[in-house]
Amino acid sequence: MEFSYTVAVLIIPIVMFLFLGIVGVKLSKKTAGVLGTCAMGVTTLIAYAAALTYFFGTEQGQIVDGVRQQLEVMNITWLEFTENLVIKLGILLDPISAMMLIVITTVSLMVHIYSLGYMDGEKGFQRYYAFLSLFTFSMLGLVVATNIFQMYIFWELVGVSSYLLIGFYYTLPAAVSASKKAFIVTRFADLGFLLGILILSFYTDTFDFVTLTSNPGAAIASAGGATFMGCSVMAWALTLIFMGGAGKSAMFPLHIWLPDAMEGPTPVSALIHAATMVVAGVYLVARLFPVYCLEEGTMTIITVIGCVTALYAAAVACVQSDIKRVLAFSTISQIAFMITSLGVARPELHEGVGYMASMFHLFTHAMFKALLFLCAGAIIHAVHSNEMSKMGGLRKYMPICNIAFLIGCLAISGIWPFAGFFSKDEILVAAYANSPVWGIWLSVVAGMTAFYMFRLYYKIFWWNNPDYGHHTPHEAPMTMTFPLIFLSLVSIVAGFIPFGDLVTWNREGLTTHINWGVAGTSTVIAVGAIILATLLYRKENAVPEKMADSCRGLWTAAYKRFYMDELYQFITHKIIFACISRPIAWFDRRIIDGTFDMLANVTNSASYAVRKLQGGSIQGYVWVYLAGAALLAAIAIICII
């Protein structure tokens, strides 16, 4: 195949991970960082070459009769269960995986460059770069997976990388517990994913994406109408698979790990928890979209969860005070947009525009959210705090950061001509096409998005002029500002990419046109929200505090994230731990372990009892020997008599 060089995008990062992981500590920090960044740069070039050739080249059979083909660049058999049930490892190039290659390598490269400045002087710098390489490898392996099992393997690998990077500052208890929380919650969700995979493959006899999606009707029919608890098993399988996706993508109610994951280094948040890993759930649903859209019930579940999450996260984001938390909830909200977009997408509605909108938003969101996170990192780097109350008036000290952050906010709010406008517009079109309820709902959330983003912006860069003392904030170094500028440019122009031609559910071209009715409404809402935020937060004043006071209960509830963490705490500790785990632990410790402890103790004490016999005293041995001989002789005599 002509695309066989694509395998290098997997090999280079894993080799880099092993190299930096094993000999990294022998290298100087600078060498390790530059080496990792250069390797990432090469990976990026290869990925771009592969993706651009795939999209715009014609000579290798990418397009047949106007349909973009799914090219299996490589497919090695790894495990063979039955003739049909074979686990393979390979590389699948199709519109969404090619797009994801671009997203991942771009953001990863920017984060690599940015980290050279941001992580400068940190302990474990080499380890950090090794983990970044591991994550990049895992994420690329996930998106190019040819079958659902390979995806699952890399799915877990990104989970591990995320765990390692969240817990990078492993001396901080908060970071350690955040990493554990992220790992456990996503693992719990992955249990559903694995069950779903098993059910799906049991009935369809295949893991292969191409086989599954090229004839989704047969896949659904393979279950033969089998039902479980009143629902068809295929609906169960797909819902369980979506549960895995919801865990990774931090959908309500499995979102609780993402805000805590902000304990990791900020570039990591930008890469993993904003741009790439958290959209894996969206990617998963998109991957199996032809199968999903035949199960109406599952699609409804996806839509409802997406909408609830979007509103919930937006509401929480409006009141948070930690800038990374605001961005984290904003991420959750935006991913919920993508999920909802997939949920409302139907092939018959506007030629399945929801699917394309979701992928488009994934692309643009990755860019502007990475930009926002990297800006936040620069701000934190300058102010040495995550809290908004410690910031204010930073526009004078950090002009580049100010402009970049403003571009990011405008993009996420959906203002023409920034990237978010186009993708969000398509999502709203898809939502209105499905049902006005979803459309209005998402429009409201889009307005809230604009409001909380500008609240954040004004709180950081305007609001008041606190006395920074001798520690005046200053603009970040070149290594950090370059990614900001680059991503700002991408955020401005990404909206003009003709996504409809490139990424659609049936891989045929799609003519998009801006629906000015929807776009105009949402722009008006966004501008209104921005004006509201400007009035409230541009200059320091008491109005926001009064508003908070007027509905103090709601405000506190939102600030406490509507007590979701407390609810989890209650369920896990009070119900599961106390009523189930503790009796089981008691049984295990007392009955099962106790049996073996008893055996061990008996052996132990028996050994202690006979230990003296082996005292090494010849006289003792002679005594025993003589006594034994006398005893035997006595027995012999008695028997003879």
Partner 1 sequence: MESVGNIVMYFIIAIAIIVFSVLTVTSRKILRSATYLLFVLFATAGIYFQIGYEFLGAVQIAVYAGGIMVLFVFSILLTSRPGNSAERLTAHKKWLGLTAAIAGVGVCGYSLLSYGELMARNMSVNLNVDIQRIGEALLSTDKWGYLLPFEAISILLLACIIGGVVIARKR
Partner 2 sequence: MEITMMMYLIPSLIMFGCGVYGFITRKNMIAILISLELMLNSVDINFTVFNRFLFPGQMEGMFFTLFAIGIAAAETALAIAIVINVFRAVNKVDIRELTKMKF
Contact footprint for partner 1 (CB under 8 A)? 622-623, 626-627, 629-631, 633-634, 637
Helix, strand, or coil (residue 170)? coil
Could you tell which of partner 2, partner 1, none binds residue 629, using a CB distance below 5 to 8 A set by kind? partner 1
330-353 burial string, b = 16+ CB within 10 Å, else e? bbbbbbbbbbbbbbbbbeeebbbb
Distance separating alpha carbons of residues 422 and 418, to the nearest angstrom: 8
* Binding mask of the shown chain, residues 436 to 475, with x at each position contacting partner 2 by CB under 8 A: ----------------------------------------
Return the residue of 174, 191, 543, 622 that touches partner 2, per CB under 8 A: 622
Stretch in the footprint of partner 2 (CB under 8 A) among 337-345, 369-377, 405-413, 617-625: 617-625
Return the residue of 11, 57, 623, 634 that touches partner 2, per CB under 8 A: 623
Return the number of the residue (170 or 623) whose C-beta is nearest partner 1: 623
Query: Contacts for 28-32 with beta carbons within 8 Å, 24 or more apart?
Result: 29/120, 29/121, 29/125, 29/126, 32/125, 32/126, 32/129
* Residues in CB range of 218: below 8 A, 6 or more apart: 204
Is residue 82 at the binding interface for partner 2, with CB under 8 A as the rule? no
Q: How far is the CB of 631 from partner 2 (least distance, A)?
A: 15
Return the residue of 229, 591, 618, 637 that touches partner 2, per CB under 8 A: 618
Could you tell which of partner 1, partner 2, none binds residue 617, using a CB distance below 5 to 8 A set by kind? partner 2
Residue pair 356/512 in contact (Cβ under 8 Å)? The answer is yes
Q: How far is the CB of 634 from partner 1 (least distance, A)?
A: 6
Return the number of the residue (4 or 617) whose C-beta is nearest partner 2: 617
Is residue 633 at the binding interface for partner 2, with CB under 8 A as the rule? no
Residue whose structure tokens are 């990774």 = 248
Distance separating alpha carbons of residues 124 and 169, to the nearest angstrom: 9
Return the residue of 572, 605, 607, 617 that touches partner 2, per CB under 8 A: 617
Return the number of the residue (61 or 615) whose C-beta is nearest partner 2: 615
- Distance in Å from the first CA to the final CA of the chain: 98
Could you tell which of partner 1, partner 2, none binds residue 618, using a CB distance below 5 to 8 A set by kind? partner 2
How many CB atoms lie under 10 A from the CB of residue 50?
A: 27
Is residue 629 at the binding interface for partner 2, with CB under 8 A as the rule? no
Return the residue of 22, 575, 626, 631 that touches partner 2, per CB under 8 A: 626
Question: For 14, what's the count of Cα atoms within 13 Å in the CB-facing half-sphere?
Answer: 13
Could you tell which of partner 1, partner 2, none binds residue 198, using a CB distance below 5 to 8 A set by kind? none
Q: How far is the CB of 617 from partner 2 (least distance, A)?
A: 8
Pick the closest to residue 365 from 394, 344, 401, 339 (CA basis).
339
Residue 387 class from Cβ within 10 Å (0-12 exposed, 13-18 middle, 19+ buried)?
A: exposed
* Binding mask of the shown chain, residues 569 to 608, with x at each position contacting partner 2 by CB under 8 A: ----------------------------------------
Cis peptide before 216 (omega within 30 of 0): no
Q: How far is the CB of 621 from partner 1 (least distance, A)?
A: 12
Here the tokens at position 293 are: 């859209």
Pick the closest to residue 124 from 162, 165, 95, 63 (CA basis).
165
Q: How far is the CB of 615 from partner 2 (least distance, A)?
A: 9
Stretch in the footprint of partner 2 (CB under 8 A) among 38-46, 94-102, 469-477, 619-627: 619-627
CA 141 from centre of chain = 14
Q: How far is the CB of 623 from partner 2 (least distance, A)?
A: 5
Q: How far is the CB of 626 from partner 2 (least distance, A)?
A: 6
Beta bridge partners of 89: 76
Stretch in the footprint of partner 2 (CB under 8 A) among 278-286, 397-405, 438-446, 610-618: 610-618
| Backbone φ and ψ of 323, nearest 5° | -65, -35
Pick the closest to residue 302 from 350, 336, 328 (CA basis).
336
* Residue ranges that bind partner 2, judged by CB under 8 A: 616-619, 622-623, 626
